Amino acid sequence: MTAVSRERRGGVLIITLNRPKANAIDVATSLELYDAFKALNDDPALRVGIITGTGRFFSAGWDLGAANEGEAVDADHGPGGFAGLTEYFSLTKPVIAAVNGLAVGGGFELALAADLIVASTEARFWLPEAQLGMLPDSGGLLRLPKAVPARLAREMILTGRRLAADEALALNLVNRVVAPEALLATAVEVAETIARSAPLAITAARDILRATEGLEVEQGYQLMRSGAIPSYQAMLASEDALEGPRAFAEGRPPEWQGR
C-alpha cells in the first residue's frame, strides 16, 4: 500500500499521508510526497495543494525506525528535501497544511513549509529533536522564528515545548482552528477560494512575499520594482491582468488563461 494518496477536486489536489501508526517519514515517503507536490506544480489544471494525514498524527516526522535500521540523519530525501516540500523552493503553487493531529518534529516542519495552516482542535505542534540528539534542520530552525515570537521559537527548539491548537491560533502560527470533522472541508473551501484568483497573480504574490521577507518596506519596493522578480513582471504583462478588470466591468466571473 502506498504511503501517499492523491485526490483531485477540481483545481485542488489533496495529498494524504497514510503510514500507520504515526505517519512517520522515511526517504521513500519523502520521495512519494515530492512526486505528489511535483504533480501539483506541473499540472496547469491544478491550482492549490492540500497536505493532510490520517489517524491521530498529522506526521511524527522522521521515521526513527528507519534511522535505527541505518537511514542516516543526513540522508538525501530528494529534490524537495525532507517530506518532499521543506526545500521545494521552485514550487509555484500554494499549499495548505490541514493538520489533523499531532505535528511532531519533521511533521511540524512539513506544516511550516506550507503557505497556510488549517488545524483541527486535536492538533499539537512541537520539536523534540534536541531531546533526541538532533536538530530541527528541515525548516524548524529557519521558519519557526519567522512564524512566532523569537523567544518562544527558541524555547520550543531548546525545550520541546508543545503548542495546542488554540495557542497556535492566538500566536498566528495557524490560520484557522476547526472541529476535526470540519477540517478537510474547511481546507478545501480555502483552497477553492484561492483557486478563483488569477494563477499568475497567486504565483507572483508568493514570490514577492518570499523575496521581500525581512526587508524594510522601502527596500521591498525597490526589489519589487527592479524587474528582479520574473513572476511579477509576467503577471503585469499578462492577458489575465486585462481580463480581471474587464470581467469586473462586465459583471461576470473572469476567465483566467494563466498567460
Q: Which of 109, 181, 189, 239 is catalytic?
A: 109
* Closest of 14, 138, 131, 13 to residue 88, by C-alpha: 138
Known active-site residue 109: yes
Q: Using CA atoms, how far apart are residues 176 and 168, in angstroms rounded to an integer?
A: 9
Q: How far is CA 255 from the centre of its chain?
A: 27
Q: Using CA atoms, how far apart are residues 97 and 58, in angstroms rounded to an integer?
A: 9
Are the C-beta atoms of residues 258 and 200 closer than 8 Å to each other?
Answer: yes
Q: Using CA atoms, how far apart are residues 40 and 38, in angstroms rounded to an integer?
A: 5
Residues 6 or more apart whose CB falls under 8 angstroms from that of 6 comprise: 13, 14, 15, 16, 36, 39
Q: Using CA atoms, how far apart are residues 137 and 216, in angstroms rounded to an integer?
A: 27
Q: Using CA atoms, how far apart are residues 252 and 143, in angstroms rounded to an integer?
A: 40
Q: Using CA atoms, how far apart are residues 160 and 37, in angstroms rounded to an integer?
A: 29
* Closest of 171, 158, 97 to residue 127, by C-alpha: 158
Residue at grid coordinates 502506498: 2
Are the C-beta atoms of residues 1 and 46 closer than 8 Å to each other?
Answer: no
Q: Which of 129, 181, 239, 250 is catalytic?
A: 129
Handedness of CA 115, 77, 106, 21 (dihedral sign): positive
Known active-site residue 129: yes
> Which residue numbers are catalytic?
109, 129
